[in-house]
């Protein structure tokens, strides 16, 4: 159920204007600098939930598809909003029209909904702060850029691309920073207005302050820590472009304006934006606005510490879905990438994540271990199977599609009898979901159930058996009398058979064999005869699914074939 929008009473955090961040550092270097141990009085407060409902947003650009990192950003914002009874917004930052991928927005909506991240406000939903596509908010950005011009916090720059390129190359050769030299800042207001009125191409730049303001990050505390690093060197100024020559905003301006007007209270985003945040704080101060609280989470890296690439795990979310990954499993997996929790175990439903969530994120980068995803996949498959709701019906359908594709009706008729295929698959899943990975791998694992004729009973080479094969065969036949023919009824007969064999062996050999050894012999024998030695659910579960008539037929097949091929009176150890 979608939560109602709260337009009033949103939480704001005031930011004190103090030191400036380092310039000339890459995001990786900057985050590393901030990750050094230091006082953490802010961090203890950061883990607390806000006292009022949080308004959060996910603001992707349709220049590509949803990946693990972006899904994690969306999830953390979503969980914070849900945990506090607030709102989760979706905003499309589509001002880079040249790089826009035609179907990216459509796939984004599909992927987010598949993962269960429904937005309260945004495209296809609406809301009181729309429109929610930046390409439809251009007039608002131009208005605010004009305000910064009027207050002296911004200026027009008429320099051509050629001039800027030459300036950067010249300064680079001298080993100097390649930032702008503020030539146009010194232009008179009258000349600037006249050129603009004459439609001369120009951009609008932020007049950066002598020192960028610091802020309190919910992950890293005060940014930056320690000594203040200079922002200007040799007349080079870090004055970012706010409005491009085509009238469209850059990320810096649009991001700040939208977050303010949409009343965003908390921003959770990747640490690659940490170095740019002081610029945003400077703009908030220039407008006289209070900024939201920021939390910058570390990058996702592979086991070698490298940023994820398409060759190494960073595939789009649709690829995981197409492989058969369950949405709850992927969300559970992504939530553990850089979030500190007290669950006591890794498996967690989405509902439980919402109950437990706090903005307590781990510092530094997070290594992605895909093996944990497959572990969680089996756990969620088992959980879905127990609940037997729509997610289980979807799971059955996915497995059915593989079975229909791989095996024809003749293959399946040996075991299906009059049972409908979905019902039959449901039984197998309920018995063996703990070993589920993907539909293809699961079907391969339980292939016997769909073409048993390819796996005749195994009965030769059982040299290590504690019980003679003829004795096992005779004793195990009574299991076919189990009533009711259920997992529990069959297991009860198996236990009775094991107990009788123990007494018989002890009487004949004047020695007592361990219960475990005799039980193993019985189970191995049954798996060899009934399942052809194939893996799958437990013997009792498998026999229940296959039915009494099928199991009896397998015993008869075993008895008919055994004298012709097993002169030593033994059966194969492969049956185990």
Residue 415 in contact with residue 447, Cβ under 8 Å? Answer: no
Q: Are 75 and 331 in contact (CB under 8 A)?
A: yes
Q: Is the dihedral of CA 73, 78, 84, 86 positive or negative?
A: positive
- pLDDT tens for 287-313 read 999 999 999 999 999 888 888 765 666
Distance of CA 564 to the CA centre of its chain: 56
410 phi, psi to nearest 5 deg = -60, -35
Query: Phi and psi at residue 170, in whole multiples of 5°?
Result: -65, -45
Selection from 556, 557, 545, 554 nearest residue 417 by Cα: 545
* pLDDT score of 380: 97
DSSP classification of residue 309:
B
**How are beta strands 215-217 and 221-223 bridged, if at all?**
antiparallel
Q: Helix 539-546 crosses helix 487-509 at what angle (to 10 degrees)? A: 130
Q: Give the residue carrying structure tokens 């301006």.
A: 253
Closest CA to 293 of 281, 283, 285: 281
Q: Can you give the pLDDT at residue 35? A: 41
User: Where along the chain do its domains lie?
Assistant: 27-301, 388-453, 456-575
* 78 burial level (CB within 10 Å; 0-12, 13-18, 19+): buried
Strand segments, DSSP code E, in 13-136 are: 55-58, 87-90
Cβ 250 vs Cβ 244: under 8 Å? yes
**What's the confidence (pLDDT) of residue 431?**
96
Whether 310 is catalytic: yes
Strand, coil or helix: 91: coil
Q: At which residue do the structure tokens 């949080």 appear?
A: 54
Give kind and range of the element (H or E) at residue 215: strand 215-217
The catalytic position among 45, 230, 310, 444 is: 310
Q: Which fold has domain 456-575?
A: Arc Repressor Mutant, subunit A (1.10.10)
Looking at residue 314, what is its pLDDT?
Answer: 58
Which pairing describes strands 241-243 and 203-206: parallel, antiparallel, or unpaired? antiparallel
Give residue 311's pLDDT.
Answer: 60
pLDDT for 234 equals 55
Q: In this structure, what DSSP letter does residue 233 have?
A: B
Q: Write down the pLDDT at residue 5.
A: 37
CA distance 492 to 282: 74
Low-confidence ranges of the chain (pLDDT < 50): 1-45, 226-232, 461-463, 510, 564-576
Q: For 312, list phi and psi in degrees, rounded to 5.
A: -125, 85
Please report which residue ranges of 198-276 form alpha helices under DSSP H. 251-261
27-301 classified as CATH 3.40.50.620? yes
């Amino acid at each position: 159920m979608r939560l109602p929008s709260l337009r009033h009473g949103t939480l704001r955090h005031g930011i004190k204007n103090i030191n400036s961040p380092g310039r000339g550092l890459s995001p990786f270097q900057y985050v590393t600098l901030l990750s050094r141990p230091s006082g953490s009085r802010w961090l203890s407060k950061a883990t607390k939930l806000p006292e009022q409902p949080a308004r959060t947003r996910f603001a992707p650009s349709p220049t590509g598809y949803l990946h693990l990192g972006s899904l994690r950003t969306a999830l953390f914002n979503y969980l914070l909003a849900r945990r506090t009874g607030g709102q989760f917004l979706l905003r499309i930052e589509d001002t880079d029209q040249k790089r826009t991928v035609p179907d990216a927005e459509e796939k984004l909506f599909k992927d987010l909904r598949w993962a269960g991240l429904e937005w309260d406000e945004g495209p296809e939903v609406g809301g009181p702060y729309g429109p929610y596509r930046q390409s439809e908010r251009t007039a608002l950005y131009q208005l605010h850029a004009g305000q910064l011009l009027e207050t002296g916090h911004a200026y027009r720059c008429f320099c051509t691309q050629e001039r800027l390129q030459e300036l950067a190359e010249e300064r680079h050769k001298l080993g100097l920073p390649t930032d702008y030299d503020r030539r146009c800042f010194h232009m008179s207001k009258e000349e600037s207005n006249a050129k603009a009125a004459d439609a001369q191409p120009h951009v609008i730049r932020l007049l950066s302050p002598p020192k960028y303001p610091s802020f309190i990050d919910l992950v890293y505390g005060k940014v930056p820590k320690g000594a203040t690093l200079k922002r200007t060197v040799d007349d080079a100024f870090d004055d970012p472009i706010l409005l491009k020559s085509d009238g469209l905003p850059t990320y810096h301006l649009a991001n700040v304006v939208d977050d303010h007007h949409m009343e965003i209270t908390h921003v959770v985003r990747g640490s690659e934006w940490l170095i740019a945040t002081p610029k945003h704080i400077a703009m908030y101060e220039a407008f006289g606005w209070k900024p939201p609280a920021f939390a910058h989470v570390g990058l996702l890296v592979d086991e070698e510490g490298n940023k994820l690439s398409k060759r190494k795990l960073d595939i789009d979310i649709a690829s995981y879905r197409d492989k058969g990954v369950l949405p709850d499993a992927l969300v559970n997996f992504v939530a553990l990438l850089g979030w500190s929790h007290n669950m006591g175990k890794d498996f967690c439903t989405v509902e439980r994540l919402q109950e437990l969530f706090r903005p307590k994120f781990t510092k530094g980068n997070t290594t992605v271990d895909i093996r944990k995803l497959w572990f969680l996949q089996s756990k969620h498959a088992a959980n879905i199977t127990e609940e037997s709701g729509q997610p289980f019906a979807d799971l059955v359908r996915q497995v059915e599609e593989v079975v229909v594709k791989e095996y024809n009706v003749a293959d399946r008729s040996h075991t299906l009898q009059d049972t409908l295929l979905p019902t039959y698959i449901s039984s197998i899943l309920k018995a063996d979901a703990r070993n589920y990975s993907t539909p293809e791998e699961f079907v391969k694992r339980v292939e016997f159930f769909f073409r048993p004729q390819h796996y005749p009973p195994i009965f030769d080479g059982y040299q290590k058996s504690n019980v003679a094969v003829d004795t096992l065969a005779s004793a195990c036949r009574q299991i076919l009398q189990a009533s009711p023919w259920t997992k529990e009824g069959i297991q009860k007969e198996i236990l009775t058979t094991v107990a009788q064999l123990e007494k018989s062996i002890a009487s004949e050999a004047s020695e007592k064999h361990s219960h475990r050894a005799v039980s193993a012999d019985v189970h191995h024998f049954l798996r060899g005869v009934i399942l052809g030695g194939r893996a799958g659910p437990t013997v009792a579960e498998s026999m229940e699914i296959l039915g009494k008539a099928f199991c009896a037929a397998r015993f008869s097949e075993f008895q008919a074939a055994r004298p012709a091929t097993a002169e030593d009176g033994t059966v194969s150890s492969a049956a185990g």
